[in-house]
Amino acid sequence: MAAKRKRGALAAGKAKRARSAPRAGEEAPEGGPRERSLPPQGYNNPPQGYNNPPQEYSIPPPVSQGKWKNKQRVLIFSSRGINFRTRHLMQDLRTLMPHSKADTKMDRKDQLFVINEVCEMKNCNKCIFFEAKKKQDLYMWLSNTPQGPSAKFLVQNVHTLAELKMTGNCLRGSRPLLSFDPIFDREPHYALLKELFIQIFSTPQYHPKSQPFVDHVFTFTVTDERIWFRNYQIIEEDASLVEIGPRFVLNLIKIFQGSFGGPTLYENPHYQSPNMHRRLIRLSVAAKFREKQQVKEVQKIKKKGTKVLVEEDPTEVVFETPAEEKPVEIQLVKPESKPIVKDKKKLRKIQRKKQKKLFRTEG
């Protein structure tokens, strides 16, 4: 019974609340005051009175609740064999692009046109695919699936968010500004790449995972026949920038008409493959080694060669002083032969006997 009474009490309370606020066109119950909701007063809402009748007002919906029309979705994934830096770069791009989707790594044996079917299953119309070769070379494909076009780049000088340790920080999911070098409007192949970058990296308006703020800038600069990507945060109203990261350099290889293949629209004449670059380095090292060996052989030949005799210089004896001339002595008597004595004591005795004989003769 207690439960029934409580349910009844709740129902009665609801009914009383509903009756206390009569709808438009209904009269207020007798004996009670008539309630009326007044609009908020402000610049567009003057206070009532002064012969101003009550007006109806509608609050516009928030910016984030607008209608999502541009439904661009980007699939970001890679092939097997990538290193840790590529994996972190891929994760950074997914963080910066709220309209991106992820997928498992693709086997290297599969053909690239299979990616079009993967994008169709994931409901994506753009794709960023990282392809690793020899565990040291990284290639990036940007494609508009399934019609095309698509572009293939060699990725160099990769620095991720965690590696740079920049001081800037932006809101997760905010919309970026895209800044392009003026050369993107001069050359036709750069104009095509500009449109491809705009469609892939720009966050669609009113995307469910995006925020209605613009606080960072993606810059694409062409220097040394390469495209340099940088990410900056807008920290002040005077547009002062601080780099956040990631950063990398894209070296264009080819632009194809189709998605991941098809006729070649443009081929970069300044591109040099990593294999050719490493081969030239090895050849330069080998050339230096051969040059050193040749220098050593030339030095050996010079040492073994006959020495050239230089003629005597007549001026060498100018400052020489002549030696004193000694008189020539002619010895007429044959010198006595010295006895060969092995014993030194016997030799001394013989010399003493000779000395005694001389003394006697003189005396």
Residue % of the chain over a pLDDT of 70: 79
Domain positions in the chain: 74-276
pLDDT score, position 238: 77
Distance CA 102, CA 83 (A): 17
User: Torsion over CA of 165, 166, 168 and 170, rounded to 10 degrees?
Assistant: -50
Would you say residue 5 has pLDDT above 60?
no
Res. 63 pLDDT band, cuts 50 70 90? low
Name the 3-class secondary structure at 319.
Answer: coil
| Burial letters 158-181, b for 16+ CB under 10 A, else e | bbbbeeeebebebeebbbbeeebb
Would you say residue 99 has pLDDT above 80?
yes
User: Quick count: other Cβ atoms within 10 Å of Cβ 220?
Assistant: 20
Domain range 74-276, CATH architecture: 3-Layer(aba) Sandwich (3.40)
pLDDT score, position 108: 79
Average pLDDT over residues 60-76: 74
How far lies 157's CA from each of 89, 154, 227, in Å? 11, 10, 12
The whole-chain average pLDDT of the chain stands at 81
How far lies 224's CA from each of 52, 81, 162, 196, 270, in Å? 69, 29, 27, 21, 10
Residues 254, 152 contacting (CB under 8 angstroms)? yes
How far lies 334's CA from each of 32, 47, 331, 351, 355, in Å? 175, 160, 7, 19, 20
What tokens does 332 get?
């007429």
User: Quick count: other Cβ atoms within 10 Å of Cβ 237?
Assistant: 6
Q: Tell me: the pLDDT tens digits for 240-297?
A: 888 888 999 999 999 999 999 899 999 999 999 999 999 999 999 999 999 999 999 9
Would you say residue 28 has pLDDT above 90?
no
Give the global pTM: 0.63
Classify residue 46 by its DSSP letter. Answer: P
Would you say residue 138 has pLDDT above 80?
yes
Classify residue 189 by its DSSP letter. Answer: H
Task: Please name the residues in contact with 170: beta carbons below 8 A apart, sequence gap of 6 or more.
Answer: 215, 216, 233, 244
pLDDT score, position 304: 79
